[in-house]
Structure 1
């Protein structure tokens, strides 16, 4: 595409902008401005085509990458499922210990395990509704 007319026009426009920037820099230095480089930057900013000029009305300006959001939702769902599984395991363990309590457990061990058993609140804290509020 280097030989196409559009590429030649684009190269010519860039060359004209560079020459105009050099002329502006020379004039700013001639007039002994405090920061002559800004003259060149101003020419470059106004002469070269920006991305916004090339867009037409109704054209898509950008696309939001939703992969990060999808991954975050999947991680949150996995955390909820993990908490539910831990809760189910702790309930099953509590039922099993209660059934075996008359075998080898002392009263002190029963009380310790009973107070250390997790409650259903942990699973409720992990659940979130689609609108962002907790259930």
Structure 2
């Protein structure tokens, strides 16, 4: 919120003291700052996420696979295709928290921090490739 206020003030000040072109540039920068301040930053701990994954998810998703629905793996392409919201930490967090189809909800079993950590682990590992 503070960044958004600062960005608005910077834009206003720039509009009064510089050319219209510079004011437009300042407005664009301010909008980018405000947008990034409003977007949630997910930076879970991948190492801690691996521990959570191994303790809670690996029974069905060992090696990034899916023993119940074989097409819906944790591989990069499958996450992009099947995960509601696309392959990103927020979408993984939603799926883990709420469950879906045969997957149970872990929102009542895991803390928000654990869910953020496992989401970071899943996204990072889908990018680098799962060891099978």
TM over 0.5: no
Q: TM-score, normalised by structure 1?
A: 0.24
Q: TM-score, normalised by structure 2?
A: 0.24
